[in-house]
Amino acid sequence: MEIKVRCNEINCHSCCEETEMQLSERDLKRLEKLGYNRSDFSVREDGIYILKNVNGKCFFLKNGKCSVYKYRPLGCKLYPVVWDLERKRATLHDFCPLTNEIDKKVLKRVERILKKHIVEVFGNINI
Ligand code: SF4
């Protein structure tokens, strides 16, 4: 499952800059299968792995493009749909300039997948 957004068309990769994208063990293993070590592309903060930035950009962003696009973390695939921890539901991240192109039905469809992902990332939390 992934959300189709026109990032490449408008040459936008703002969400890949100063990223704090959280990674599940599944994401980490998928990327490690490409030959990377998790310490190459991620940092651990408060027990959670997040993507590493190099010079303010995601480790995987090369020449304005995601170099692991097909294998990118689930959170990247579902962006700009994000999990609102306070409201306990999926929501659109205002930071993305293309959120108005996302159908509300898509948001609903993604919610279950995103919730499962968040539980995988954070462990047994009440969401
Ligand atoms: S993994 Fe790819 S899509 Fe995700 S933040 Fe990095 S460059 Fe962007």
Residues 61-94 pLDDT 10s:
999 999 999 999 999 999 999 999 899 999 999 9
Which atom from ligand 1 is nearest to the alpha carbon of 76? 4
Pull the structure tokens for residue 11.
């040459």
Residues 6+ apart with CB under 8 A from 4: none
Percent over 90 (pLDDT), the chain: 84
Alpha-carbon distance values, 16 to 57, 58, 83, 84, 100 (Å): 6, 5, 18, 20, 19
Ligand 1 centre to CA of 14 (Å) is 10
Determine the pLDDT at residue 76.
Answer: 97
pTM summary value: 0.93
Pull the structure tokens for residue 3.
């959300």
Which residues share a beta bridge with 58? Answer: 53
Ligand 1 centre to CA of 60 (Å) is 6
Which residues share a beta bridge with 82? Answer: 91
Domain extents for the chain? 14-122
Q: Which of 72, 77, 117 is the pocket-test mutation for ligand 1 (most atoms within 8 Å of CB)?
A: 72
Pair type for strands 22-23 and 53-54: unpaired
Give per-residue burial for 30-60: e unless 16+ CB within 10 Å, then b: bbeeeebebeebbeeeeeebbbbbeeebbbb
Mean pLDDT of the residues in the chain = 94
Do residues 101 and 6 make contact, with C-beta atoms less than 8 angstroms apart?
yes
